[in-house]
Amino acid sequence: MTPLAPLVTSFFREHLSAEKGVSKNTLTSYSYAFKFLCKYAAGRLGKTPSQLFLEDLDARMIRDFLEHLETRCHNTARTRNLRLTAIRSFVKYIAYEVPSALEQVRQIRAISNKRVQERLINHLTREEMNAVLDVPDPGSRAGIRDQGMLYLGFASGLRASEIVGLRLDDIELDGPYPSILVRGKGRRLRRLPLWKEAARALRAWLAVRGSAPAPEVFLNARGEAMTTSGFSYVVKKHSRQAAHATPTLSDKRVSPHVLRHNAEFRIMPNPVSRCASLAALAVSYSA
């Protein structure tokens, strides 16, 4: 029997962090998956998580765990699939570390994802976008910060993680072509030009940001880096307020993801031209 704990530890510390260099978000997602899996398996077997063996996590246990997530924890199929992705990554690693477990690995990797119905993205009109951008108070520090983040979301099409992960050293506002260095998924870097509105909003925030030691551009009230959940709260808060002046927003679920996709339609109204424009930007401003 092979103790599970040392394998999980080496998977996170050595494989994911040191070798693969996965993002903080991926580490967090995988950590949650194993937290819930170990708790479930230990409860089923009458053990503590530290007493589990690799052999305890066979294909049947994994299937039962995934079923438990949906039926008892009321997780969506999308969340269920995310947990399965983490488990698959682990057993792929195990195939090289514990060759005797190859059949167990094969059976677990054969477990399929559940089909997920794609949700339609709410595209906002220009009036609705402007209504959201006009809500933050330009006379307050928090309002200036929020407006800077919203402009980056609307005008640059950045992911929430890319906005909150933006660092002071990533910004180039001098010269005729302001730009930022974006740290995307898989730690890929790309140089992105800024629309003048976004550059103006960013300059306004930097003027009042202060000299907090955190390297990130956007900070919360405690002087710490904003989180993706914090940014999501900012977007939803201002969207709800904007709905008072623009009632059509009441029927739309506005999130950082919606901001990102609306940016594409703002860049170019024609779909073919829009794709060509985005491709050109990716090549011309790649880091």
The residues assigned a catalytic role are: 159, 185, 257, 260
The number of helices, as runs of H, and strands, as runs of E, in the chain is 12, 3
What would the two tokens of residue 246 be? 């623009």
Report the C-alpha gap between 32 and 125 in whole angstroms: 37
Identity of residue 59: A
Triad 118, 123, 129: Cα angle to 5° = 145
Q: Of the candidates 202, 193, 194, 197, which has an alpha carbon nearest to the alpha carbon of residue 283?
A: 193
Report the C-alpha gap between 121 and 265 in whole angstroms: 12
What would the two tokens of residue 238 be? 């201002």
Identity of residue 51: Q
Report the C-alpha gap between 49 and 5 in whole angstroms: 8
Three-class secondary structure of residue 62 per DSSP? helix
Report the C-alpha gap between 66 and 48 in whole angstroms: 20
